[in-house]
Amino acid sequence: MDQLNRHSWDQRQQELKLQLDLIADHAGLGPALLALAENQRQTGFIRDSLDHVERFVLPNPTSRRHYFSVQFNPARARRFAGAGLSLAPEGVESINQGCFLCAENIWWQQQGAELGYELPLGELPYTAWMNPFPLAPDHCIVAAQAHIPQSWNGNGKRLLTIIADLLKLSAELPGWIAFYNGEGAGASILGHLHYHLLPRPPGYGHMPLELAIQRHDVDGIVEDVYPLSFMHWHGAVGELVEPLAPAIIDWQTKIGEPEHATANIIAITAEDSSRQDCFFIPRHKARSRAEGLAGVVGGFETLGEIVCSSEEDHKRLQAGDITYQTIADMLRQVSVAL
């Protein structure tokens, strides 16, 4: 690699952007992000091939179509340690306590290996970065370019902007799953606004949360069909903000302690762009974990796949000690009534 400096990194970012813009113009944002992923495997930033991931599908004993799944992903345990350097080189200032999502830190923390893609959409400017500890192949993080907090801090208007940008991203990505984890709902970087994007992984059908709404495809509050209470809306791609805004504002004004309120928000655009779905799962900041398997319940978990990384959990899975009911009970523990 070239000698590490900010200027050469900026130059490589610009060169990559030209290539990715070309792909995005011709084939769409999805293929451009897949090309970013390929670049990041080549630079060595993505080191986890997901070879060690094992997936356990746990069918509902009384209804065959329904299931939960557990992903044993040992590399995810390393994500809290962060990746890369923690001490800035001489003459360089680490900003925002070394935030992993600020470009001003990323170039030296990852020694030039991590490159992002500036996205031309959303209310705010964003950059797409790859996740070094993916939940699935090509797991991408879209971060605001500014260091602004993940939480909406009780501000309903801010929450609507977060949802609107998530939906905009999702609209550009048919066949992908996009989600936002609030503070205390799976987010591990609280200082810097970010979203998760992943192409539906090979071999995955509809996720359990998606299956839950298939029986009654109505919009609004959905209770008693899934261990978590949630709100759901569906419609033509790019047209969901208007119908969901009043419900979100209503929820925001009625909740008892808005400072403790958080959420997982999921947006999914169908592969053929025939529809877009949005799920809003209210959470409580003090209930980020559930007993049953080690780990935090974030957006992917609320969709119905629990991610665990300890050898102890792995043994329990192999022994068949974890069942559909175990996962249903876990999710129920973090559910918040609407």
Which stretches of the chain bind Zn ion, using CB under 5 A? Answer: 96, 99, 101-102, 147, 192
The span from the CA of 193 to the CA of 130, in Å, is: 15
Q: Which amino acid is present at 24? A: A
DSSP-based three-state secondary structure for 136: coil
CB of 147 to Zn ion, least distance (A): 4
**Least separation in angstroms between CB 336 and Zn ion:** 28
The least CB distance from residue 102 to Zn ion, in Å, is: 3
- The closest residue (CB) to Zn ion is 99
CB of 59 to Zn ion, least distance (A): 42
Whichever of 13 and 229 has its CB closer to Zn ion, that residue is: 13
Q: Smallest distance from the beta carbon of 226 to Zn ion, in angstroms?
A: 34
Q: CA torsion, points 311, 314, 318, 323, in degrees to nearest 10?
A: 140
Taking the CA atoms of residue 162, residue 167, residue 172 and residue 176 in that order, the dihedral angle to the nearest 10 degrees is 100
Least distance from Zn ion to the Cβ atom of residue 189, Å? 8
For Zn ion, the closer of residues 42 and 96 by Cβ is 96
| 94 versus 310: smaller Cβ distance to Zn ion | 94
Beta bridge partners of 177: 198, 268
Instruction: Give just the sign of the alpha carbon dihedral 88, 94, 98, 101.
Output: negative
State the CB neighbour count (10 A cutoff) for residue 78. 14
CA 198 to chain centre: 8
Q: Show the CA angle centred on residue 84, arms to residues 79 and 87, nearest 5°.
A: 120
Based on CB atoms, which residue is closest to Zn ion, 162 or 266?
A: 162
Specify the residue, 148 or 236, whose C-beta has the smaller distance to Zn ion: 148
**Which residues, at least 6 apart from 328, have a Cβ–Cβ distance to it below 8 Å?**
68, 227
Nearer to Zn ion, 139 or 192 (CB): 192
